[in-house]
């Protein structure tokens, strides 16, 4: 069932139970009430009684208080509160499901599908807060809780999916969908709900359900274990003792590494933390080749060191269990099961797209390496000093080629990308395109860390209505997983009472010293705009029912990827991309250099991503799922011709997308699938001559963003663009030949 869960109040729950709980006489007739003796009150189990009491006393369960319809009680979160909160949430939801199942009325959309959407709110609140803590503040206490409770929560979810009486009600509504007066959205919910239950095992026999439950619970525990090990391996760093080893690094980067060392008790030293936002700039600018290799190896070997944090055995078991589950559910492979509810549908279609782009991307890498090798040879003072380009050299020499070919220095560009200015630029983009405005209110609601900033979001297109509260968490810290992501603490809905959106963006920028500006790269700035695209998608939702809020995996990245394009538009540059010292906008000459180099290094960027995506799909189309992860990775990359100068963007031992849940498994291709739509959508704006063209923005909001999954997403794109997306737009954007 959907993970969007809602709350049923204690009073309403008691009424539902009272309607279903009566006492029969031996003859089956109900005794009439008398003035002397009222009917006995319905009895409830001790577990439910305890849960109802916890709802009043445990802040993790209670309805959120404060502005915006309530906000998460981050100021009251303690690890020890979660076990009782989880158990109580499960019991409360169990009672709500029982009330649905035991309803004597015939199944209808209202008393079955809507009732399901309206169940489990307390557990949903607990789970939302817990997800924030495990992603952002993952101390050992939370790792232990995650390992213990992930299988239990999975079992509680399976209990609902495997409830045959519930499924029969869902099936009855589904079979009557054409004659019961449902509107289009309601009919879509009924159809998707029925298919989701079937896809997840509702029609299996009792023995098969027991087997599936065991597989699901074991996988949930393995996902938790994988996540903890990778976080632990990322909570490491490379120490630099001497300032001479900082050669080539810009002052802002040195300051960031010094701040990282100071915060870890390493006074007088510098620390390159084992996260991408810290490692990539070091590999780009450090002239110390030995240190580059050391930093690179620490990063790419996360989870692959044969120690307590090694993840290879976990991966092997996950892949095997996934294959067993797919077979049990009637699918040829895990990829077929996962892609059954996507736009691509068939793994072969995803593979076809990836391989179409792979060939020109690899050819471009060969050209890029040849250009870099020439500079490396020229830099060698004597023949004995010559090197062959290795993966830890790629970014360093690519930057030299960029500077030589385009006279473009990334350090110069960063001086126009001060973090606060880039954030302001993203908000202005949202206002110009969609009428959203952001007002900072940090300090008015609880947050989980002092770095968090909070904003009220208003929508001019809805009469300047308050539509959300937006949290942003921009900096890396121990216990926070690497990467960047968006999460909704609470999504929009209005099928009962309109809900205000609460959502966040989470990045891992390197925090500078006190009162020092944080200068970020173009890649990091695009990542910020990307994640903000996810936030916009959630904030402007007009979907009535939460069951239609989520979109297919290979669509969800489209609204985020397309918004990266606005970063370097002239209106944004003039207003926000200003030199952090002089305050002058980025000059046209520098922008021209950036534009001229926009297709530069696209071979590298595409191949490191596609290497990961192809390995993911190959891994999950093995019917038996039996693999040695390290050997499989090496052999697959060799077979497809992975250039030796590049590694996968995410190697299997640290591939959180694949192994911390099922979410992106057999789905990493979705970034490319979405990017085809994103490139074509951006071409629509470019075709008007105005990146903020009002009519194109109106269609983008109405068809692509606000409509969620209320109807087929391929049709939504056709409504926006007038036709299906064309891969040629993506190839052209990356500078690859169109054949």
- E strand map for 216-258: 237-240
Reduce the DSSP state of residue 464 to 3 states and report it.
coil
Q: Is 531 a catalytic residue?
A: yes
3-state secondary structure 256-267: HHHHHHHHCCCC
Task: Give the separation between CA 679 and CA 727, rounded to whole angstroms.
Answer: 8
Q: Do 128 and 69 share a structural domain?
A: yes
Residue 385: per-residue pLDDT: 82
Bridge partners for 458 per DSSP: 437, 466
What domain count does the chain have?
A: 2
d(CA 71, CA 622): 44
pLDDT confidence of residue 428: 98
The answer on 196 and 260 residing in a single domain is no
Residue 634, domain member (yes or no): no
Same domain as 195, residue 51: yes
- 182 and 254 assigned to the same domain: no
Residues 53 and 193 in one domain: yes
| DSSP for residue 723 | S
Say whether both 174 and 255 belong to one domain: no
Residue 662: predicted pLDDT: 97
Owning domain of residue 169: 10-20+42-203
Domain C-terminal end among 300, 324, 343: 300
Domain annotation covers residue 240: yes
Task: Tell me the C-alpha distance between 62 and 221, whole Å.
Answer: 27
Give average pLDDT by consecutive 10-residue segment, the chain, 739 residues.
32 30 31 46 84 95 96 97 98 98 98 97 97 93 96 98 98 98 98 98 98 98 96 93 95 92 94 92 96 97 96 98 98 98 97 96 97 94 88 97 92 95 98 98 97 98 97 93 94 92 96 88 95 98 95 96 97 97 95 91 96 98 97 98 97 97 96 97 98 98 98 98 96 88
Alpha-carbon span 504 to 482, nearest angstrom? 16
pLDDT at position 22? 29
Nearest-angstrom CA–CA distance, 603 and 601: 5
Q: What is the domain-level CATH number for residue 189?
A: 1.10.1370.40
Q: What share of the chain is helix, strand, coil (3-state, %, to 5)?
A: 60, 5, 35
- Give the model's pLDDT for residue 40: 56
Q: What is the pLDDT of residue 383?
A: 78
Question: Do 188 and 265 have their domain in common?
Answer: no
167 and 58 within one domain: yes
Q: Say if residue 152 is in the same domain as residue 263.
A: no
Residues 144 and 258 in one domain: no
Catalytic residue among 531, 557, 564, 633: 531
Is residue 615 a part of any domain in this protein? no
Angle between the N-to-C axes of helices 602-619 and 629-640, in degrees from 0 to 180, rounded to the nearest 10 = 130
In a domain, 317, yes or no: no
- 56 and 114 in a single domain? The answer is yes
- Strands 485-490 vs 465-475: parallel, antiparallel or unpaired: unpaired
Q: With b meaning 16 or more CB within 10 Å and e meaning fewer, what string describes 80-100?
A: ebbebbbbbbbbbbbbbbbbb
Q: Of 249, 269, 300, which residue sits at a domain end?
A: 300
| N-to-C CA span, the chain | 43
Rounded to whole angstroms, how far apart are CA atoms 194 and 316? 32
């Amino acid at each position: 069932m959907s993970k969007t869960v809602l709350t049923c109040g204690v009073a309403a729950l008691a009424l539902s139970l009272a309607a279903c709980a009566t006492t029969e006489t031996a003859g089956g007739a109900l005794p009439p009430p008398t003035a002397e003796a009222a009917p006995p009150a319905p009895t409830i189990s001790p577990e439910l009684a305890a849960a109802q009491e916890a709802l009043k006393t445990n802040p993790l369960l209670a309805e959120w208080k404060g502005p915006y319809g309530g906000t998460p009680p981050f100021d009251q979160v303690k690890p020890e509160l979660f076990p009782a909160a989880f158990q109580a949430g499960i019991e409360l939801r169990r009672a709500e499901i029982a009330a649905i199942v035991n309803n004597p009325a015939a199944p209808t959309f209202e008393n079955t599908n809507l009732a399901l959407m309206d169940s489990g709110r307390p557990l949903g609140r607990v789970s939302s807060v817990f997800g924030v803590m495990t992603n952002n503040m993952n101390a050992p206490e939370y790792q232990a809780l995650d390992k213990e409770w992930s299988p239990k929560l999975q079992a509680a979810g399976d209990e609902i999916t495997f409830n045959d009486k519930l499924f029969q009600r869902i099936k009855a509504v589904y079979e009557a969908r054409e004659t019961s007066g449902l509107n289009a959205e309601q009919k879509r919910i009924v159809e998707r709900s029925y298919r989701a239950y079937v896809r997840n095992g509702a029609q299996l026999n009792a023995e098969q359900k027991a087997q599936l439950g065991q597989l699901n619970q074991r996988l949930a525990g393995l996902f938790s274990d994988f996540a903890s090990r990778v976080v632990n391996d990322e909570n490491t760093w490379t120490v630099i003792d001497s300032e001479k080893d900082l050669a080539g690094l810009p002052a802002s980067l040195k300051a960031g590494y010094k701040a990282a060392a100071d915060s870890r008790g390493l006074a007088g030293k510098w620390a390159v933390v084992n996260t991408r936002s810290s490692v990539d700039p070091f590999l780009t600018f450090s002239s110390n080749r030995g240190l580059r290799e050391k930093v690179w190896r620490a990063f790419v070997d996360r989870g692959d060191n044969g120690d307590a944090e090694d993840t290879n055995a976990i991966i092997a078991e996950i892949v095997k269990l996934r294959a067993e589950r797919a077979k049990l559910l009637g699918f040829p492979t895990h990829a077929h099961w996962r892609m059954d509810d996507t736009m691509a549908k068939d793994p072969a279609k995803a593979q076809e797209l990836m391989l179409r782009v792979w060939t020109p991307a690899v050819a471009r890498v060969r050209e890029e390496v040849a250009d870099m090798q020439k500079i490396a040879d020229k830099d060698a003072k004597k023949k004995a000093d010559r090197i062959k380009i290795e993966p830890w050299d790629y970014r360093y020499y690519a930057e030299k080629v960029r500077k030589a070919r385009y006279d473009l220095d990334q350090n110069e560009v960063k001086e126009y990308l001060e973090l606060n200015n880039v954030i302001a630029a993203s908000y202005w983009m949202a206002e110009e395109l969609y009428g959203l405005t952001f007002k900072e209110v940090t300090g008015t609601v609880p947050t989980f860390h002092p770095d968090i900033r909070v904003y009220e979001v208003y929508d001019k297109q809805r009469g300047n209505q308050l539509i959300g509260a937006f949290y942003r968490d921009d900096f890396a810290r121990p216990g926070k997983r690497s990467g960047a992501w968006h999460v909704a603490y609470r999504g929009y809905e209005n099928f009962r009472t309109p809900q205000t959106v609460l959502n966040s963006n989470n990045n891992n920028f390197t925090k500078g010293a006190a009162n020092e500006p944080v200068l970020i790269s173009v890649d990091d700035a695009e990542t910020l705009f990307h994640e903000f695209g996810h936030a916009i998608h959630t904030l402007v939702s007009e979907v009535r029912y939460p069951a239609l809020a989520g979109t297919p995996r290979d669509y969800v990245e489209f609204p985020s990827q397309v918004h990266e394009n606005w970063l370097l538009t002239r209106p944004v540059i003039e207003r926000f991309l200003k030199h952090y010292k002089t305050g002058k906008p980025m000059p046209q000459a520098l922008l021209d250099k950036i534009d001229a180099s926009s297709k530069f290094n696209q071979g590298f960027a595409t191949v490191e991503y596609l290497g990961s995506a192809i390995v993911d799909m190959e891994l999950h189309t093995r019917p038996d799922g039996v693999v040695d992860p390290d050997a499989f990775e090496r052999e697959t990359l060799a077979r497809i011709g992975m250039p030796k100068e590049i590694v996968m963007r995410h190697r299997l031992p640290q591939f959180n997308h694949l192994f911390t849940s099922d979410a992106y498994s057999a789905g990493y291709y979705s970034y490319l699938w979405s990017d085809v739509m994103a490139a074509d959508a951006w071409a629509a704006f470019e075709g008007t001559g105005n990146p903020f063209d009002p009519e194109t923005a109106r269609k983008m909001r109405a068809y692509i963003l606000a409509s969620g999954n209320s109807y087929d997403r391929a049709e939504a794109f056709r409504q926006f663009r007038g036709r299906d997306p064309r891969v040629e737009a993506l190839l052209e954007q990356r500078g690859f030949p169109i054949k």
